[in-house]
Structure 1
Amino acid sequence: MNNNGNEKSTLRMIILVATFGGLLYGYDTGVVNGALPYMSREDQLNLTSLTEGLVTSALLLGAAFGAVISGKLSDRYGRRTTLLYSAILFFITTLGCTFAPNAAVMITFRFLLGLAVGAASTIVPAYLAEVSPAERRGGIVTQNELMIVSGQLFAFTFNAIIGNTLGQYPNIWRFMLPIAAIPAVILFFGGLKLPESPRWLVAKGKREKALSVLEKMRTNDRAKTELHDIEMAINRESEIKKASFKDLKITWIRRLILIGIGIAVIQQITGANSIMYYGTEILKDSGLGTEAALIGNIANGIVSVLATFVGIWLLQRVGRRKMLMGGLIGITVTLILIGVSSLFLEGTTALPYVVLALTVTFLAFQQGAVSPVTWLMLSEIFPLRLRGMGMGITVFCLFTVNFLVGLTFPMLKGAIGLSSTFFIFAVLGVGALLFVKTWVPETKGMTLEQLEQKFRNYNKKKPKVLKKTEDVLNRNKESNNYL
C-alpha cells in the first residue's frame, strides 16, 4: 500500500505546477492595469480610449478562442500535453508584447497571449478536478483561483515598485511585462513531470496507466475503486460517441451547457475585471496621482488574495449555490454605493479613498464567493466525454463577456461617467441573482459521476407507484403539521 505522505506529496506537486497556469493568467491580465498610463503616452504607443480598450481586451478575445480550441485539443491529446504547449505560447507572446513597437503589434501579441490564457483557464480546473479526491475537489480546484488573484497581486506590486522607482524612464512599461516569462518557464519544465489525467487515460483505453497514476495519489484499494467508478461512468456515456455540437440535441446536455454558460457570464457582467484592468485609471479619475494610484491598487490585489482564502474555506462548509447568491448580493449593493459616491462626492478629497474602500469591498465578495464557485462548478458539472467541449464553450462565453467589458469600460466611463457605468453593472447584478435563483443547482458533496447521473435524471417522470407514495406521505405530513 502506498505511503500516505507520498500520496499527499504527489498531489501537492501536481497542484503547485498546474496552477502556475493560473498565476500566468492573473499576471498577464493584471499587469496592463499599471502599464496602461505609461503605455498611453504620446512618446510611447499613444493610445486613445479605443486603442486602450483594445490593448486591454485583445487578450480576452484571444482567451475566448483559446478556451474553445484548447478544450478540443485537450480531449484529443491530453490535459498535460496541451498545458505544456500553452506554456511555450505564454513565453513567446510575453516577449512579443514587451518589444512591441506600436499599438497594432501590441494588440496582435496580446490576442495571441490570450490564446494561452484561455487554454490555461480551461485545462487547469478540468485537470485538477479529474485528479482530485471527491471530498477535496472543491478546495483543490479553487487553489487555481488563488493563483490567479496571486498573479494579479504580483502584477500590481511589481507595477507599483517599478512605477515609483523608474517612473522617469519613458519605456518603463517594458520592464513590467516580461516578468511573466519566468512562471511560463516554470510551468513548462514542471509540466514535464506531471502525470496525465487518469480519467482521460481511461477514456483512451489506457487502463493500467490510469491505475498507476491513481496509485500515486491514493491508497491502492481506493485507486482501484475509483478506477472502477470512472470506467462505469464512461460505459454509461457510450450513447455519446463523440462530443460535438450535435450532442446539444439531447435535452439534459443542452440544459447543462446553458447552465454552464450562465454561470460563466454572471461572473463577468457585474464588471469585476473593469477594476482589475482599470483600477489604476479609476483611482486616477477619482483624484489620485499615477504613482499613488499604483500603490493604492495593491490593496485590490491583497484583498483579492485574502478573500480567495476565505472562499476556499467556505467551499468546504457552504453550498456552491448559497455562496454564489451571497456573493452576488454583496457585489450588487457595493456597485450601487460606488455609483452613488461617485455622483455625490465628485471633486472632493474624500472620493478616491471612498472609491478605493468600495472597490476593495467589491473584490472581497467577488473573489471570496463568486469567482471560486464559478471555476469550481464549471470544472465539475460536465461529464467526461463532454468536459473539454463544455469547458471550451462556457469559458469562450466567459471571456467574450470579459472582452466586451474590457473594451467598452473606458469608452463608457468617458461618455456617461463613472457613476452611471457602475449603475449599469448593478442592474446586471440583479439579473445575475435571478438566474442563479432560478437555474443553478447545488453540486456540493457529489462525485463527478454522481453529478452526471443527477443531470441525466433531471425532469424524468417518476414511476406512478413512487409518485402516489410520495403524495400520501406529503398529505400525512401536512395533516400532522396542521394538528
Structure 2
Amino acid sequence: MSHDRPAPGTSGISLPSLRPGPHQKRLDLIAVVATFGGLLFGYDTGVLNGALEPMKADLGLTSFTEGLVGATLLIGAAVGALTCGRMNDSLGRKKTLTILAVIFFVGTFGAVFAPNLTVMLPARFILGLAVGGASVTVPVYLAELAPTERRGTLSGRNELVIVTGQLLAFIVNAVIANIWGDHEGVWRYMLAVCAIPAVVLFIGMLRMPESPRWLISKDRHDDALAVLMQVRTEDRARAEMAEVEQLAEEEEQAQTGGISDLSVPWVRHLLIAAVGLAIAQQCTGINSVLYYGQQLLITAGFDENTATIANAAVPGSFGVIASIICLWVLIDRVPRRKLIISGFVATTTCHGSIVCAAFFLPEGVVKAYIILGVIGLFVFAMQLMLNVPVWVCLSEIFPLRLRGFGMGAAVLMLWMTNAVLTYGFPIMLDVTGLAGAYLVFFVLGLFCIGFLWKMLPNTSGRSLEELEESFAKGDFR
C-alpha cells in the first residue's frame, strides 16, 4: 500500500512513499493519547448498562426518570457535537480535546456524588457534552494527522477504543457488583472509574501537536510543516504541505469555507449523505444492545445473573474482536462505500432473524440462547462493517474549511437519533415486545440501504485533498 503515486485531479503533486522510522512511532503515540477521548466515550455510554439497576433503587427512579437518565447524556452529546464542531474550526483540534478532558472530569465528579435526580441529570448532560465533543473531535484529529495509506487504520482506532471502553464498562460493572454489590451506592464506584482516563487525556494532550491541516487553514504554515516533520519523513512532509496549501489557496480564491457553501450542489450532497449516514448508523439499533443489553436478554428469557454475564461475554467481546478484524484486515482494503452498505444488509438480516425467533419459537432456554446468538452476530456485523467505517467516512468526507461544521452537524443528528431511540426503546419493548421492537429496526434498515446506495460516496484510497477535488467535479464514486 506504500508507493509513489501522482495525485489525480488538478494538483499533479506526487507523494513519496511512506517509510518506517521514529516518525511512525510518534504518530502511533499521538493516536494512543487522542483515543483516550474514545475510551471515555465508550465507558460513559456503556457504564449505565450495569449501573442503572442499583441506581434505580438508590435514587428512586421510575421508568420515566430511568429513560431521562439515559437520554440526558445523549441530548448533551448532540449539543456537544454541534458546539465542538465549531470549536474545532476556531480553537483547533488539540485545544478542544484538552477542554473536553476537563469537562469529562467535572461531569464524572457530579454524577458520582449526585444525591438525587436533580443533580444527576445536569451531571449526565455535562458528560454528554464531552462525549459528543469527543465523537466529533477525535476522528477528525486522527484523519488530518494520518497519511492516506494509514488513514482508515489510524482513524478507525478510535472506534476500536470506544467499543473497548464499553466492554471495560461491562467488565468493571460485573466485578464491582460481585465484590461490593451489597454496598449502598455501588453504582457510584462504577461511574468513578471514568475519572482516570479523563486525567490521562488532559495530561497527554498538553504534549501533543495540533492538526497540520487546521494550522494551514489558519495560515500558520511554518507550524504546520513542523508538525508534519514530526510524523513524516522530510520529503513526504513537504509534498503533503504543497498539496494542502494548493487546495487551501483554491478554496480561498473560490471564497469557500462558509455556511453559504451549502448552496453549492456538491457540498449539499456531501452534507445530506453524511447526515443520512449518521442517522442510519443509529437506526441499526446498536444502542438498544449497548444501553439495555441486560434488560434485553432478560426479556429474551434469561435470569438476571445470567443476563449480566452473557451481556459482557457476547455483545461486549464480539464488538471488540470484530473491530480489531475491521482495522487490520478490511478498513484500508475494502472501499468504504461497499463495506458500509454490506454492513447494513448484514445487520438488517439479523433484525429479521430476531423478529422470526421472537415470533415463532416457543418460550424457553433454547429461544433465549438463539436470540443471544443472533444479537452476538448483529453486534459482530455492526463492528466489523459499520462502526469503524462510518466514523472514518464522516471524518474524511467534508472539505477542509467545512470539516468542523459538517462533522458537527452530522454527529448532532446522530446523537439526536440516538436520544430518541434510547428513550423510546424501553417503551417500545414494553408495548410491542421483542419482535415488534426489532421489526421497527428491520424496516428502518431497508430504508437506510436504499438511501446509502443512492447518496453515499466512496472516501477511501485517496488523500483528503484528492477527495475534495473529485467531489467538487461531481464525482462521488
Structure 1 and Structure 2 fold alike (TM over 0.5): yes
Match of 1:296 in 2: 310
For structure 1, which segment, 372-381 or 308-317, has the greater mean C-alpha deviation from structure 2 after superposition? Answer: 308-317
User: Quick one: distance in 2 between partners of 1:302 and 1:240?
Assistant: 49
Match of 1:358 in 2: 374
Match of 1:430 in 2: 446
Aligned-partner residue type, residue 62 of structure 1: G
User: Quick one: distance in 2 between partners of 1:380 and 1:150?
Assistant: 23
The count of corresponding residues between Structure 1 and Structure 2 is: 457
Aligned-partner residue type, residue 339 of structure 2: M
For structure 1, which segment, 100-109 or 55-64, has the greater mean C-alpha deviation from structure 2 after superposition? Answer: 100-109
Match of 1:10 in 2: 26
CA contact (8 A) 2:86 2:405 kept: yes
Q: CA deviation at 1:122?
A: 0.4
The secondary structure found in structure 2 opposite 1:382 is: coil
**Distance 1:241-1:291 versus aligned 2 partners, 3 A rule:** farther
Q: 1:342 aligned to 2:358?
A: yes
CA contact (8 A) 1:320 1:442 kept: yes
Aligned-partner residue type, residue 311 of structure 1: C
For structure 1, which segment, 270-279 or 93-102, has the greater mean C-alpha deviation from structure 2 after superposition? Answer: 93-102
Aligned 1:12-411 pairs, distance under 5 A: 12-41=28-57, 44-239=58-253, 241=255, 243-298=257-312, 299-312=314-327, 313-345=329-361, 347-411=363-427
**Greater than 6 Å deviation, 4+ residue runs:** none
Q: CA deviation at 1:240?
A: 6.0
Per-residue displacement from partner, 1:56-109 (whole Å, max 9, x unpaired)? 121111111101101111111110001000000001101111111222322221
**Distance 1:167-1:459 versus aligned 2 partners, 3 A rule:** closer
CA contact (8 A) 2:273 2:452 kept: no
User: Quick one: distance in 2 between partners of 1:316 and 1:254?
Assistant: 27
User: Quick one: distance in 2 between partners of 1:338 and 1:414?
Assistant: 16
Q: Please give the root-mean-square deviation of Cα atoms over the aligned residues, in Å.
A: 1.6
CA contact (8 A) 2:300 2:434 kept: no
**Which structure has the bigger radius of gyration?**
1
Aligned-partner residue type, residue 208 of structure 1: D
The secondary structure found in structure 1 opposite 2:378 is: helix
Q: 1:449 aligned to 2:465?
A: yes
User: Quick one: distance in 2 between partners of 1:113 and 1:241?
Assistant: 37
Aligned-partner residue type, residue 301 of structure 1: G
CA contact (8 A) 2:352 2:442 kept: yes
For structure 1, which segment, 380-389 or 451-460, has the greater mean C-alpha deviation from structure 2 after superposition? Answer: 451-460
User: Quick one: distance in 2 between partners of 1:242 and 1:82?
Assistant: 24
User: Quick one: distance in 1 between partners of 2:253 and 2:394?
Assistant: 23
User: Quick one: distance in 2 between partners of 1:240 and 1:394?
Assistant: 24
Aligned-partner residue type, residue 372 of structure 2: L
**Distance 1:242-1:440 versus aligned 2 partners, 3 A rule:** closer
Match of 1:466 in 2: none
Match of 1:481 in 2: none
Per-residue displacement from partner, 1:423-453 (whole Å, max 9, x unpaired)? 1000000111111111112222111011111
User: Quick one: distance in 2 between partners of 1:277 and 1:245?
Assistant: 35
Q: CA deviation at 1:131?
A: 0.4
Unaligned runs of 5+ in 2: 1-17
Give the fraction of aligned pairs with identical amino acids, expressed as a percent. Answer: 43
For structure 1, which segment, 234-243 or 209-218, has the greater mean C-alpha deviation from structure 2 after superposition? Answer: 234-243
**Distance 1:242-1:59 versus aligned 2 partners, 3 A rule:** farther
The secondary structure found in structure 1 opposite 2:96 is: helix
For structure 1, which segment, 236-245 or 199-208, has the greater mean C-alpha deviation from structure 2 after superposition? Answer: 236-245
CA contact (8 A) 2:332 2:461 kept: no
Per-residue displacement from partner, 1:260-303 (whole Å, max 9, x unpaired)? 10111110012111100000111122232333222111121110
Per-residue displacement from partner, 1:22-77 (whole Å, max 9, x unpaired)? 01000000000111121122xx1222222111111211111111011011111111
User: Quick one: distance in 2 between partners of 1:414 and 1:107?
Assistant: 24
Aligned-partner residue type, residue 249 of structure 1: S
**Distance 1:93-1:395 versus aligned 2 partners, 3 A rule:** same
The secondary structure found in structure 2 opposite 1:442 is: coil
Q: CA deviation at 1:239?
A: 4.7
Q: CA deviation at 1:241?
A: 4.6
User: Quick one: distance in 2 between partners of 1:103 and 1:89?
Assistant: 20
For structure 1, which segment, 125-134 or 411-420, has the greater mean C-alpha deviation from structure 2 after superposition? Answer: 411-420
Q: CA deviation at 1:243?
A: 3.9
Q: CA deviation at 1:247?
A: 2.2
Aligned-partner residue type, residue 273 of structure 2: I
CA contact (8 A) 1:163 1:294 kept: no
Aligned-partner residue type, residue 369 of structure 1: M
Unaligned runs of 5+ in 1: 461-483
**Distance 1:459-1:131 versus aligned 2 partners, 3 A rule:** closer
Aligned 1:454-465 pairs, distance under 5 A: 454-458=470-474
Aligned-partner residue type, residue 309 of structure 1: I
Aligned-partner residue type, residue 371 of structure 2: V
Aligned-partner residue type, residue 60 of structure 2: N
CA contact (8 A) 1:50 1:411 kept: no
Aligned-partner residue type, residue 237 of structure 2: A
Aligned-partner residue type, residue 203 of structure 1: S
User: Quick one: distance in 1 between partners of 2:189 and 2:362?
Assistant: 34
Aligned-partner residue type, residue 133 of structure 1: P
User: Quick one: distance in 1 between partners of 2:237 and 2:475?
Assistant: 33
**Distance 1:87-1:372 versus aligned 2 partners, 3 A rule:** same
User: Quick one: distance in 2 between partners of 1:238 and 1:408?
Assistant: 45
Q: CA deviation at 1:459?
A: 7.1
User: Quick one: distance in 1 between partners of 2:424 and 2:141?
Assistant: 33
Aligned-partner residue type, residue 286 of structure 1: A
